[in-house]
Structure 1
Amino acid sequence: MTTLDRATVGPDRDGRTARTLPRLVARRGAPRVRREDTLPAIAVAEALGADVVEVDVRRTADGVPVLLHDETLGRLWGDPRRVAEVSWCDVARLGNGLDRIPRLDAVLERLDGCRAALLLRVVDPADALVASRTVSASTWGTRVAWAGTPDALAAVRAALPDADTWMPWESLAVPTAADTADLGPSTLVLDDVFLTSDTVAAAHGLGLAVAVRTVDEPEPVRWAARLGADLVATDDVASARAVLAGGERDGWALHDREPGEEEVATRAQALAHRIAHEVIAFTREHPVGQVSSKRAPGDLVTDVDRAVERLVRARVRAAFPTHGFTGEEYGDAPGDRYRWYLDPVDGTTNLVNGLPWTSMSLCLTRGGRPLVGVVADPWRGEVLEARRGRGAVLRDTPLHLDDTPRALAGAIVSAEFGGHGAWVGLGALVEALAERSCAVRVMGSSTLTIAQVAAGRGVGGCVPAFAPVDHGAAVLLVHEAGGVVLTRSGPVDGFPTEGEPFLVAHPGAADELHAVWSAALGSR
């Protein structure tokens, strides 16, 4: 299955089926103890019992393969140049003592005769070719496997037909023989956000091992072991090994007790708050790079959408490994009665065109009932958050919509298109509101359209079809701020039916606005 033997342990203390104890992959050596991708970090990882030591390989200007994760020397070594533009002699002078950038051949020599295998991660095909030549010419007996980007692994396979390759898998869909035919890997490497029991079963059915990365916290380590992962890549080998030893000794239950809903909601609210601020910083700091279409030419997705979703999935997985998750870009991941819904960038067309009106929506539900929701507005730097039965806040200020009557004259009602076209009835709504001297705004983020009503900005917002990914958090915000959520049949508690048109409103304007909106929908 792989260069590594799989270690099967016996039945747990409850007599259940024997399971395979995952092997540990030390990412970049032991970066929490010594500087990453150096000989001391590799020595510590090997001493801590890592089964595989993963290192990153780049080439110097004169074609020497060295250990370095980044394209430049700035982060770790204080030199802003790209390593590919610097000679080996100059690279060798950086650092001090043993904390220096090592050559790949020195690493092969260091691990010769050790139980740990070496996993070489390459992202550039040119780097991969240089590293392949060094491995091919080496007389040391170190076991070597390869991971990295598809293009780099293809270059390795062309240079070393018998190379042990570990193929990246960035999907919740299960792998098939057709997916792996060209590369012929021994192992699938996937982020923990893509690890499911179905993926593990499918990979094993193809004769492939499964390596999950990056897993540092105790609960996700246990969870990966329970799902049958063959290898766990971690920055903290000692802690991960202690968790696995504890699971082998005490059984593999994730908790001594199942936490109650109140405890889960408290932890989830704190987590969602942290995630929202992290997403604000990430979205503001990362310019849009790749842009592509999904279901239609105007249905855009960017590298920022995907990166934010992966970031959020990873944070949730680390804290709540058994929870289900549904995201806009990567779809459904199975889980227990709790499920998170995420739209990483609501308003992608705005983002692509430089219009600062986008948001992130993250909502936790239990059995379909919303518990916690946050909406992050990167461009105002605002986080609106709500917890069922505990109210809604903006910057720690409670949001409260009283029932004082509000006239539509001089007010604003926000609306959103269905996809990229106006829904039948929108024109009639605009005309009816104009007759009442009420303005309509279509801003391009349905999450913010709803959430702004909770914040008291406008008297209403209407969307042609409810989806928990897009609207779950904002609907909870409106409820908890004292607003009204309505479908054509009247107010609803919780979520509207998926796909159903809905309206949110300030309670003082809800009756009149609902009548106008319902009449417009009836004009179809």
Structure 2
Amino acid sequence: MTTLETPAPLTTGRPGLRPPRIVASRGAPRVRRENTLPGVVVAEALGADVVAVDVRVTADGVAVLLHDETLGRMWGDGRRVAEVSWCDVARLGNGLDRIPRLDAVLERLAGCSASLVIGLADPADAEAAVRTVAAADTGSDDTVRVAWRGTVAAMTAVRSLLPDADVWLPWDTLGPPTSAQVRELRPSTLDLDVAFLIPATVRAAHTLGLCVAVWTVDDPEPTRWATRLGADLVLTEDVATVHAVLAAAERDGWSRPVREPSEAEVAGRAQTLAHRIAHEVIAFTREHRIDPDAGDAAARVAALDRSIEQHVRGRVRAVFPEHGFVGEEYGVAPGDKHRWYVDPVDGSRNLMNGVPWTSTSLCLTRSGRPLVGVVADPWRGEVLEARRGRGATERDRVLRLDDAPRPLAGAVVGTELDGTHPWPGFAAFVDALAARSCAVRIPGSGTLTIAQVAAGRGIGACMPAFDPVDHAAAVLLVHEAGGVVLTLDGPVDDFPPVGAPFLAAHPGAADELFAVWTAAVAGAEPTS
């Protein structure tokens, strides 16, 4: 039987498309405050088929609508809701914009056409939430239909308390659900971030008899794209927009736009998007800086890696839903002729040990040729970006390397190890440069080491093997800044072959540095 780990292929689109059901995420947060009774009412009035809310439990066991563990983000109170009584929670806010009890929401939706899906993050909250739903079930036709979504642990708790529950199985940051989880939870629906939506996943879910729910879809093209792939439900914070898009597509047809955007149009939009993503990643990385003395640093770095890549994929999907991906954490996602390469944290060993030298890289290619590359340095707060044929910049500074000859004496050359080992010829390379009074540095992030050449910091950098996930954006930066990229066979215009050693250099030092490097790799010291 097909499993979610080994999905069968699926072609995009299907005959006789039917619009997915619209799920209002957290009510109607574009109109009213999220997870409030007015938000639920507005979502139902706007035509949502399902209203999705988040539930937490107070210190005295009352199930209330709240997404976060604490009351700080939405209600200005930094305490954990699990430590606050219902009476104190009820005092927050003003007028109708208050935290409602779950039973009040169930009462308000009774007799309405919209059903309710309850999100749980903490399995400890499941008992109170299930008890509240059971108390509201009158057995009549007016009783609200309820489904459940959230973490695997929370859904396991719901299933144990409510054997007949309608459970959604999440595709979380650790990867796809396992066959064991499908057997144990008996879900009706696969619940996944739009970042992970691909045709094969839809086919696998449908083969297993599961519906597919996708979150969060707020824009027209991702809405049409998710529908063409066969999504059964779309979770959105903008019910009105998604409703209008689906109605128009149902009226006019689901075909793609007649005119394909030009390479220049795609590159321009992609550069703007990549720039914004880079600044978001910088803020996120600095906010989640790893304390090496806090314990389990490796697990926290891995979690940060996954969170950043998931965020990047989701942001790109919202603008370019049909583009493909290759990522450090989540591998390959098929797409059209465009493909994004993303390395969420290059220099994870540095991050794990509190060394502020890491980077995030993002590169868009079209039919294998680079279009846009961005390298984000969280610790300097810098975003180095390049667009094919348009040069490279850092903030308002144009990155441009002159053609003047540059001696190796007194210069710095960057490199990285091959994993944790020196690459072949490494010792000879260091010795040859030392004889020329040129220093070698091993900073610990290949992406950032190469990007520094484009920024004019250091005279060159050499890497043991090209990997587009790690190096594509930085290589484009060097090219667009006027630098030279070489393999052992000489200069390359786009990317080096995958796995090939390569050198990035200032044009004024490229010839001499290339001679030193190739001689060291070949095992012979070059003549002076």
The bucket for the TM-score relative to the shorter chain is over 0.9
Counterpart mapping for 1:283-302 below 5 A: 283-288=285-290, 301-302=301-302
1:47 Cα deviation from its structure 2 partner? 0.9
Corresponding residue for residue 429 of structure 1: 429
SS at match of 1:274: helix
1:291 Cα deviation from its structure 2 partner? 5.5
Residue 479 of structure 2 corresponds to residue 479 of structure 1: yes
TM-score (norm: length of structure 2): 0.93
For each residue in 1:16-60, what CA deviation from the matched residue of structure 2 results, as whole angstroms up to 9, or x when unmatched? Answer: 820131001101111111111111111111111111100111111
The CA distance in 1 between the partners of 2:326 and 2:468, in whole Å, is 9
TM-score (norm: length of structure 1): 0.93
Counterpart mapping for 1:433-472 below 5 A: 433-472=433-472
Report percent identity of matched pairs. 70
1:80 Cα deviation from its structure 2 partner? 2.1
1:381 Cα deviation from its structure 2 partner? 1.0
Corresponding residue for residue 129 of structure 2: 131
Corresponding residue for residue 513 of structure 1: 513
| Native 8 Å contact 2:26 2:53 kept in 1 | yes
The CA distance in 2 between the partners of 1:197 and 1:51, in whole Å, is 24
The CA distance in 2 between the partners of 1:92 and 1:174, in whole Å, is 38
Residue 52 of structure 2 corresponds to residue 54 of structure 1: yes
1:311 Cα deviation from its structure 2 partner? 1.2
| Native 8 Å contact 1:65 1:130 kept in 2 | yes
Corresponding residue for residue 148 of structure 2: 146
The CA distance in 1 between the partners of 2:218 and 2:195, in whole Å, is 13
Corresponding residue for residue 332 of structure 1: 332
| Native 8 Å contact 2:465 2:498 kept in 1 | yes
Counterpart mapping for 1:269-280 below 5 A: 269-280=271-282
For each residue in 1:182-218, what CA deviation from the matched residue of structure 2 results, as whole angstroms up to 9, or x when unmatched? Answer: 2111001000000011000000000000000001011
RMSD between superposed Cα atoms in Å: 1.8
The CA distance in 1 between the partners of 2:14 and 2:88, in whole Å, is 57
| Native 8 Å contact 1:71 1:83 kept in 2 | yes
Corresponding residue for residue 3 of structure 1: none
Q: Extract unaligned runs of 5+ from structure 1.
A: 1-14, 295-299
The CA distance in 2 between the partners of 1:284 and 1:125, in whole Å, is 30
SS at match of 1:189: strand
The CA distance in 2 between the partners of 1:112 and 1:16, in whole Å, is 35
Counterpart mapping for 1:30-45 below 5 A: 30-45=28-43
Corresponding residue for residue 69 of structure 1: 67
178-187 or 262-271, which moves further after superposition?
A: 178-187
For each residue in 1:310-337, what CA deviation from the matched residue of structure 2 results, as whole angstroms up to 9, or x when unmatched? Answer: 1111111111111111111111111000
The CA distance in 2 between the partners of 1:287 and 1:131, in whole Å, is 35
Counterpart mapping for 1:34-433 below 5 A: 34-140=32-138, 141-170=143-172, 177-288=179-290, 301-433=301-433
The CA distance in 1 between the partners of 2:516 and 2:466, in whole Å, is 19
SS at match of 2:137: coil
Q: Which amino acid aligns with 1:360?
A: T
22-31 or 389-398, which moves further after superposition?
A: 389-398
Corresponding residue for residue 6 of structure 1: none
1:480 Cα deviation from its structure 2 partner? 0.8
| Native 8 Å contact 2:173 2:306 kept in 1 | no
The CA distance in 2 between the partners of 1:119 and 1:507, in whole Å, is 60
| Native 8 Å contact 1:363 1:374 kept in 2 | yes
For each residue in 1:140-187, what CA deviation from the matched residue of structure 2 results, as whole angstroms up to 9, or x when unmatched? Answer: 411110000111111111111111100111379776644411211100
For each residue in 1:389-419, what CA deviation from the matched residue of structure 2 results, as whole angstroms up to 9, or x when unmatched? Answer: 1111122211111221111111111010112
| Native 8 Å contact 2:14 2:228 kept in 1 | no
The CA distance in 1 between the partners of 2:144 and 2:413, in whole Å, is 67
The CA distance in 2 between the partners of 1:433 and 1:212, in whole Å, is 55
1:513 Cα deviation from its structure 2 partner? 0.7
Q: Which amino acid aligns with 2:113?
A: R
| Native 8 Å contact 2:127 2:158 kept in 1 | yes
Corresponding residue for residue 9 of structure 2: none
Distance 1:49 1:280, change over 3 A: same
Q: Which amino acid aligns with 1:343?
A: D
Distance 1:172 1:306, change over 3 A: closer
SS at match of 2:280: helix
303-312 or 232-241, which moves further after superposition?
A: 303-312
1:483 Cα deviation from its structure 2 partner? 0.6
Q: Which amino acid aligns with 1:408?
A: L
The CA distance in 2 between the partners of 1:126 and 1:72, in whole Å, is 15
Q: Which amino acid aligns with 2:276?
A: R
174-183 or 103-112, which moves further after superposition?
A: 174-183
1:305 Cα deviation from its structure 2 partner? 1.3
The CA distance in 2 between the partners of 1:515 and 1:378, in whole Å, is 34
Q: Extract unaligned runs of 5+ from structure 2.
A: 1-12
The CA distance in 1 between the partners of 2:328 and 2:75, in whole Å, is 38
The CA distance in 2 between the partners of 1:350 and 1:86, in whole Å, is 40
SS at match of 2:32: coil
